[in-house]
Amino acid sequence: MKNKSQIYAVVLNYNGYNDTINCIESLKKAKYNVINIILVDNASTDSSGRLLNKKYPELHFIFSGKNKGFAGGMNLGIRDALQKDADFILLVNNDTIVSENFLEPMLEDMIDSSVGIVSGKVFYKDFPDTIYCAGGRVDFLKCTGVAEFQGKSGKEYANVKREISLAEGCFMLVRSEVFKKVGFLEEKFFMYLEDVDFSLRARKHFKIVYNNNSIIYHKSGGGKAWDEFTPLYSYYYTRNRLWFFRNYFFLYRLYVIFFSVLVSLLKSLKMFQSFIINPNKRSNLKKSFSSLWRGTKDGVLLILKIKNV
């Protein structure tokens, strides 16, 4: 891969000043001639966008007029990168830190023109030997996209490059032709499962590859356990899991509803247990519980095509 390739990294900030700085600084240290960084502020309410623009005036900066969610915010940066004639666009969460050598293995895979997306080995930021995601797949039994090898030791697992069916949204290098061919992230998802939808569309025309030599570290802001998930995660992940399968055959949609309601019940039991044991968590648990069932209700209406989005 020639070093003259135009690489643009899209980083989305929403009230995440310190995380975003850490991400940007790691990208600037990466071993490649130039990684152009497009920083999108998704209508932050804490002045972090203005402060980041002041700190990094040399970066390409976009202010969103409103919070467009992960999908909408990233699309602003993707469109800007395409207008700047990017060859490859790196989608990376602002709560990640990339390793210095993360990019070269991905670009080596892109020598094969049939490869459209390359994903890497993502570790938990707080547990740097534990895998957050090492490639993904769509699990129709669990009605969702699955991050493979999650919770496993990075030394023992996922040490072989392979073709995959799902690239994790927090970290993927995308050939610009992919967006031109299949379109952008679906903004109706707002956040969560837009990567599943995008991967399935892209895979109809391109290969998706997991490269174990491309390594980053992810904070995983949604939470790691059922009683730790944020209200935003509880709502959008639950709603979107149902909405994602809205066009599948009727009997399977009934299964998705049954499975999703069952999962919501199990999550509620875990939240109730934590509510009793941990008084300090009660306020957030109440919000997450409400969001969980609001997401379940909206998702059921969407999958039955009673409600539009």
Q: What is the per-residue pLDDT across 188-220, written as a single tens digit (0 to 9) for each?
A: 999 999 999 999 999 999 999 999 999 999 997
Residue 1 has pLDDT above 60, yes or no: no
pTM of the model: 0.92
Q: Which two tokens stand for residue 120?
A: 């890497």
Task: Select from 7, 43, 13 the least CA-distant residue to 28.
Answer: 7
pLDDT at 272 over 50: yes
Residue 47 resides in a domain: yes
H helix intervals, the chain = 17-29, 48-55, 69-83, 103-109, 176-182, 194-203, 231-244, 250-277, 282-303
Q: H or E stretch including 167?
A: none
Say yes or no: 257 and 195 in one domain: no
Residue 251 falls inside a structural domain: yes
**Shared domain check, 243 and 109:** no
Residues 210 and 257 in one domain: no
8 Å CB contact between 212 and 117: no
Please tell me the predicted confidence (pLDDT) of residue 273. Answer: 87
| Residue 172 lies inside a defined structural domain of this protein | yes
Which residue among 188, 218, 248 closes a domain? 218
Asked if residue 223 belongs to a domain, the reply is no
Q: Which of 197, 218, 239 is the last residue of a domain?
A: 218
Range of the domain at 13: 7-218
77 shares its domain with 124: yes
Mean pLDDT computed over 233-258: 95
The verdict on 116 and 246 lying in the same domain is no
The pLDDT of 15-35, averaged and rounded, is 94
Mean predicted confidence (pLDDT) in 237-261: 96
Residue 225, in any domain of the structure: no
> Does the residue 1 lie in any domain?
no
Please give the Cα distance from 76 to 59 (Å, whole number): 15
Average pLDDT, the chain: 93
Indicate whether 2 pLDDT > 50: no
Residue 47 pLDDT > 70: yes
User: Is the domain of 127 the same as that of 240?
Assistant: no
Torsions phi, psi of 62, nearest 5? Answer: -130, 130
pLDDT tens readout for residues 166-194: 999 999 999 999 999 999 999 999 999 99
Domain match, 21 and 116 both: yes
Which pLDDT band, with edges at 50, 70 and 90, does 254 fall under? very high
**Whether residues 150 and 292 fall in one domain:** no
Q: In this structure, are 236 and 107 located in the same domain?
A: no
Checking if the pLDDT of 157 tops 50, the result is yes
d(CA 108, CA 160): 15
Work out how many domains the chain is built from and give that number: 2
Q: Is the model's pLDDT at 270 over the cut of 70?
A: yes
Instruction: Look at residue 308 and tell me if it is in a domain.
Output: no
Q: Are residues 207 and 245 in the same domain?
A: no
* φ and ψ at residue 29, rounded to 5 degrees: -90, -5
Of 62, 66, 97, 93, the C-alpha closest to 79 is 62
Let me know whether 259 and 189 are in one domain. no
Render pLDDT for 90-143 as a digit per residue (tens, 0 to 9): 999 999 999 999 999 999 999 999 999 999 999 999 999 999 999 999 999 999
In this structure, the answer to whether residues 144 and 284 fall within a common structural domain is no
> What is the rounded average pLDDT of the residues 148-172?
96
**CATH at 181:** 3.90.550.60
Residue 224: is its pLDDT beyond 60? Answer: no
